[in-house]
């Protein structure tokens, strides 16, 4: 089995891809818009705007594969109890991701060091996804 985190948006998927490229160096592997997919995959009509939404995207944060897509229809309630933790090599990488994601987002835990990490933080980005950011090094 393989578990692949999948992030769903409501028309902002491409904007999120740009944000995650800045924060994590996200590498795109595949991007398919609704306009380029087989319309038999869904049972509803698309507006001209929705035809430009992302139907399915695959990318990598480091070696971790993730998927991203734009939902069409009713928005699901958010939940920040589940979040993705990204472990960086350096404190500076954590700080860059933190500064990028906190813009128009909210801070759960500001940058700080802990017993197990020289630099960590937790933020909810502007799309409602919670991210844990950390190094594995401690200051001890």
Q: What are the residue ranges spanned by the domains of the chain?
A: 6-70, 84-135
pLDDT per residue of the chain (140 residues) written in tens, 0 to 9 = 999 999 999 999 999 999 999 999 999 999 999 999 999 999 899 999 999 999 999 999 999 999 999 999 877 777 777 899 999 999 999 999 999 999 999 999 999 999 999 999 999 999 999 999 999 987 54
The pLDDT score that the predictor gives to residue 139 is 56
The pLDDT score that the predictor gives to residue 124 is 96
6-70 and 84-135 in the same fold = yes
- Tell me which residue of 62, 82, 64 sits closest to 8, measured CA to CA: 82
Specify the CATH number for 84-135; select among 3.30.565.10, 3.10.330.10, 3.30.720.110, 3.30.470.20: 3.30.720.110
CATH 3.30.720 is the classification of domain 6-70: yes
The pLDDT score that the predictor gives to residue 73 is 81
């Amino acid at each position: 089995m393989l578990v692949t985190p999948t992030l769903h948006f409501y028309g902002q998927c491409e904007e999120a891809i740009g944000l995650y490229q800045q924060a994590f160096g996200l590498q795109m592997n595949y991007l398919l818009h609704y306009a380029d997919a087989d319309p038999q995959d869904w049972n509803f009509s698309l507006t001209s705007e929705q035809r430009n939404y992302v139907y399915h995207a695959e990318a990598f944060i480091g070696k971790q594969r993730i998927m991203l897509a734009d939902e069409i229809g009713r928005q699901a309630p958010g939940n920040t109890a589940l979040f993705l933790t990204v472990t960086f090599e350096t404190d500076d990488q954590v700080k860059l991701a933190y500064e990028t994601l906190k813009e128009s987002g909210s801070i759960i835990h500001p940058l700080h060091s802990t017993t197990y990490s020289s630099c960590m933080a937790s933020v909810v980005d502007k799309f409602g996804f919670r991210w844990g950011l950390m190094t594995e090094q401690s200051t001890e």
